[in-house]
Amino acid sequence: MRWLLRSKIHKATVTEANINYIGSITIDEDLIKKAGFWPGEKVLVVSNTSGVRLETYVIAGERGSGNICINGAAAHLIKIGDEVIIMGFELTDKPIKAKNILVDNNNKFVKLL
């Protein structure tokens, strides 16, 4: 069994950072669906801006909002305006084809990668 990349949102822009929230990353529900994430799923978030990497879980945000909100303690590390990659993995014994999506500066779907 190996951990393989299953889903990725590439080059998203953080629109909000809420230190007072209990934790997680809030993602526009349209992007969750396009990338194939599930609410509650553990994800790795990497900041292309600062190089910070952290694990958290997905919360569904308002559909069509373009919202990417870093919540809780992670908001100390990843800030509004940071460019991030959000990745989900799967433990499997077979190769899988990852579903990678590219978004624009407003976090709107551009294309599958």
Q: Which DSSP helix (H) or strand (E) runs through 84?
A: strand 83-92
Task: Determine the pLDDT at residue 12.
Answer: 98
pLDDT of residue 72: 95
CATH code, 2-112: 2.40.40.20
Chain segment 27-79, per-residue pLDDT in tens: 999 999 999 999 999 999 999 999 999 999 999 999 999 999 999 999 999 99
Residues 86-99 have pLDDT tens digits of: 999 999 999 999 99
What is the rounded average pLDDT of the residues 10-23?
A: 93
Give which of 12, 7, 20, 23 is closest to 67, Cα–Cα: 12
pLDDT for 79 equals: 97
List residues with catalytic annotation. Answer: 24, 57
